[in-house]
Chains A and B, each alone.
Chain A
Amino acid sequence: MSREHDQTEPVLRIEELSVTFFVRQSLFRTRPVHAVSGVSLVLSLGETVAVVGESGSGKTTLGRATLHLAPISAGRVIFEGTDIGELEGKELMSFRQRAQVIFQDPFSSLSPYMRVGELVAEPLAIHGPKDREEQHQRVLAALEQVKLSPAEEFVEQYPHTLSGGQRQRVSIARAMVLDPDYLVADEPVSMIDASSRAEILYLLAELRAQGELTFLYITHDLASARHFADRIAVMYAGRIVELAPSAQLVDEPRHPYTKALLAAVPEPDPANRLHERPVVGGEPPDAADLPAGCAFAPRCPAAISGVCEVQVPPLIQLDDGHEVACHLYPAGDSIGDSTGEPASESVSSAAATKGSSASG
């Protein structure tokens, strides 16, 4: 599903982005929740980057921040050369038209009181042509584009008469009706039956192929990311811990967290039931109470004591272009080490022996 794209032209440039929320702890005290910390990521024209992580990893907040929908506390998001934090008035309106989002839950993100036609026409009322007939034609075209055909029939229906897959198509039509340049898809298939997921991903891939659409695909599902995205960024506790071309990340993971995630995904194999899956114990940390140093260190089977719980590892580039934030790959050492093997003994075997202690 992934394909070639132009590497040279960055559409979106995320620079050292941090998003911190403040939650009230008591009447006079608030505490900071570091949802996203120092994330940098560049999306080229027509490229799809998957942001993979578990709940609380900051992936959704990162996506929202790139849409001017979350408060940026540090860093910048540059869209086609302009800092979106500085957009106001007409420019902000124009950005909102060009950057669209598809949400996870097609059951709650569509108003049950609106017909499909009205739902898809809603963005046009703000950004589109004022002419009714032209709006109607745009709606029909968008529905045909997402294969809700015949569009004239779907226009009259209410969301509750549609299947999960069809509802998600309506959400996609709502995003596509304004012909955006940048699309954030936040878990677009996780609430849909397994049998229909591939169909929705193909539809997104098709839309992407028709225009020069730059895509941020937010998911917890590494397998779909591998097939749908050009590159995968793995997030943990608000930071990118690994970033590489999709197949490379899945086939040669470097970060112990990525390895653990990959080991947790079952593939349909009758032999799976005969042994326990190697898992890391524990759960991701609370973003309001992050451990010092590497946030994964308390669960990491390969943690180097005295180092990992002290210092946050920076995201460094290895020789093969693979980026990783882990003390097992010291910045200096990777230069002469083309394989990018970890500095200590095999991480995966360590992950297999430590593990299934069940604290979650």
Chain B
Amino acid sequence: MLAVEALTKRFQGLVAVREASLAVPAGSITGLIGPNGAGKTTLFGMISGFLQPTSGRVLFEGQDITAEAPHLRARRGIARTFQIVQPFAGLTVAENIAVGAYLRHPRRADAVARARAVGRRVGLGAELDKPASSLTVSGRKRLEVARALATEPRLLLLDEVLAGLNPSEIRDILPVIRAIRDEGVTILMIEHIMQAVMSLCEAVHVLAEGRMVASGPPREVCADPRVIEAYLGKGAAARLGAEAADA
């Protein structure tokens, strides 16, 4: 469904992403992990159109969308959330979601009805008429998902929607994400919380210092020495291996 081919992004000499490639098959939940500063959000920016890659291509359903503006990608069916949540502070929760719903429903009544339905689905039913600025962190994360979902995407890009939530909030939101996929939305998610990645994702790609270092099913990837080194530093895999052998 989505194919990223050798994307590179340079910021004035600093290479944030180097020749990164990945593929997201339709109907999957695919994870994108990596240490802080690895370039994950930059990669998301290029997939959603907010950043222009220095080189490489982005293909969505076989079509080259590398140069397309973000709002056109949204029309094609790509929606994203932001790691730093960005609610429309002056609007209510329902109005926030309606901005997304208007993409497929130009009439106000349809868009509002659709927005309220989506809001209830992600668990914001009680908050729909409150100002978005009054939401808790977990509420804001849900709002991010709801707004993106209201555009009725075929590919949903989730940027750390679980960060900042407590374990019980995470437990509540995991089924929501799974249900979204079960309704036919393909998901690519950046995530730090490994348990969530393990339980949700069929495949995981690992980005470290701007390079794709590993990809595959989550369990294999986690055992990959390159991935351990990416997270814990050079030689860590060998040390861990030695310690395991000693024990």
Q: Do A and B form a real pair?
A: no
- A residues whose Cβ falls under 8 Å from a Cβ of B: none
